[in-house]
Amino acid sequence: MSFLLERDALNGKAGRAFAVIDGRNVEMFGLKKIQADAEFQESDFTVVGTNLIQKKTKGVTLTGSATIYYGTPEFLNMLKAYLKTGILPYFTIQITNNDESTTVGSQTVALYNVKLSKLPIAILDDSADYLSMDISFSFTNVEVLNAFKAPAQLGE
């Protein structure tokens, strides 16, 4: 019988993320959460002889979001650059999951041509002990630099 053992469930805090901005490798300090998604775009595909409506994949949208503690200046600097020059800087994000207590090893994914799509400019909140901000972004390419292995229990 094969099933995932609890020891191979990944700890969500075990990892790091870096942004490569203007050639500088910047650790995404104060990161609370980051997620990158691929959403497949589909259209209806119908044919004579059936009432079945099939779905044909016609593209993919690559987007992501992150929650970071407020006070990280890097993204606000990109907004300032855009307002000054009309050019929004693109950058790369590299995310590594590395829970050494598991048998799956680590995984590193790179997101290329990342472009901000939503960025808070200023925040005050009388009910918050710590200020955080949600940013969203899009990107045009993804590469798995190294992938997880199958859990030892499932590989047998």
Summarize pLDDT for 118-154 with one digit per residue, the tens.
999 999 999 999 999 999 999 999 999 998 888 877 7
d(CA 127, CA 131): 10
For 23-44, the pLDDT digits (tens) are 999 988 789 999 999 999 999 9
Residue 25 lies in a domain: yes
Give the C-alpha separation, 66 to 93, whole Å.
11
* DSSP H stretches of helix in the chain: 74-85, 152-155
pLDDT at 41: 97
Alpha-carbon span 11 to 14, nearest angstrom = 6
Position 57 in a domain: yes
Is 151 a member of any domain? yes
In a domain, 146, yes or no: yes
Range of the domain at 42: 6-155
Q: Look at residue 1 and tell me if it is in a domain.
A: no
Cα–Cα distances in Å, from 152 out to 5, 105, 106, 108? 9, 10, 14, 20
Instruction: Say if 34 falls within a structural domain.
Output: yes
pTM over 0.85: yes
Query: For residue 132, is it within any domain?
Result: yes
Cα–chain-centroid distance for residue 7? 24
Residue 104's CATH number = 2.30.110.40
Domain count, the chain: 1
- Residue 112, in any domain of the structure: yes
Is residue 4 predicted with pLDDT exceeding 90? no
